Structure 1
């Protein structure tokens, strides 16, 4: 089957759930019920390897090995609720109460190292393209960048989330990237 080339144009949606130990099928995983929030500014996936090079004193012999890899999925979160804060901050605790005015409130408390949940999440960025096919980028990790909320009179509040990937399987996989390449019958019979 011939490899297609795709122009990726536009943004997508970020979906998130607590990691259960198994990476799900992205086509089943990405649904409205686990959409984290509406995002602003798209998403950026960064892969950064680190290398070490050993060289002899004369400069005639050398050997380079990869020593570590770092993967970060960054996005701007534009819509918020208590669950989004809980997914962005490992010490966030959510409770609900009724105020003296008889209105119901959600309360989110942040901080206190002893309140860490050490949650890992499956995070999937889903880019939809009805012409060339959808793309899915999945990682397992957590937001390790903290957050800031800017309340401005003439601009929406958008906070940056930076999810650091952790190995998702026994092979040490950090990114699971899926691209739609046609229907199952086209894959079996590429001339169709």
Structure 2
């Protein structure tokens, strides 16, 4: 029986970064623009879904199937409470002064599009990095204040395509070896 190597099984969560970055920016520009949005609760999930259109023959059944649509979503719970993060995620306006912070939500039509980076550190210290070049939080949110549980902002991002990328235009996953 073959033994599974320890570093082939991913456990745990990671760090979530967001920033306003041109999808074709250099790595140096990307790193300079990204902000760690805080601790993650409940891990993170990447979902890749496809839709196909079948070509059917009356006498032979399905003879061809074409990929006609694909969608990538990224879901995570943001645990660290920071009002400014709401304006990074949703159509909101953040302001602050020496006495208070404020975020106004609603009536703003432009939903931020972020470069999303999720970095998971494996037990061997190597990194697994997920980059979504254009991510937009399209679901709303619930904020629950419960004396028994921490307040977590569950966020679902939809990947928007980068039209001039030809080597994967929604998401990339990079594993250090």
* TM-score after normalising by structure 1: 0.78
Unaligned runs of 5+ in 1: 99-103, 182-192
Q: Contact (CA 8 Å) 1:126, 1:136: kept in 2 or not?
A: yes
Q: How many residues align?
A: 168
Tell me, which stretches of 5 or more residues in structure 2 are unaligned? none
In the alignment, what sits opposite 1:75? 76
Larger-Rg structure: 1
> Which residue of the partner structure matches residue 179 of structure 1?
175
Distance in 2 (alpha carbons) for counterparts of 1:180 and 1:149:
36
Aligned to 1:35: 36
TM-score, L = length of structure 2: 0.84
Name the CA distance, whole Å, in 2 between partners of 1:49 and 1:143: 20
Answering whether residue 83 of structure 2 is matched by residue 94 of structure 1, we say: no
2:128 aligned with 1:135: yes
Deviation at 1:177, TM superposition (A): 0.8
Q: Which structure has greater strand proportion?
A: 2
Partner secondary structure for residue 51 of structure 2 = strand
Give the whole-Å Cα distance in 1 for the aligned partners of 2:20 and 2:37: 12
Is the 1:87–1:143 contact (alpha carbons within 8 Å) kept by the matching residues of 2?
no
Equivalence for 1:186: none
> In 2 relative to 1, CA 165–119 (structure 1 residues): closer, same or farther, beyond 3 Å?
same
| Contact 1:15–1:30 under 8 Å retained in 2 | no
List aligned pairs for 1:1-192, cutoff 5 A: 6-25=8-27, 29=31, 34-89=35-90, 91-97=91-97, 104-112=99-107, 115-129=108-122, 131=124, 133-139=126-132, 140-168=134-162, 170=164, 171=166, 173-181=169-177
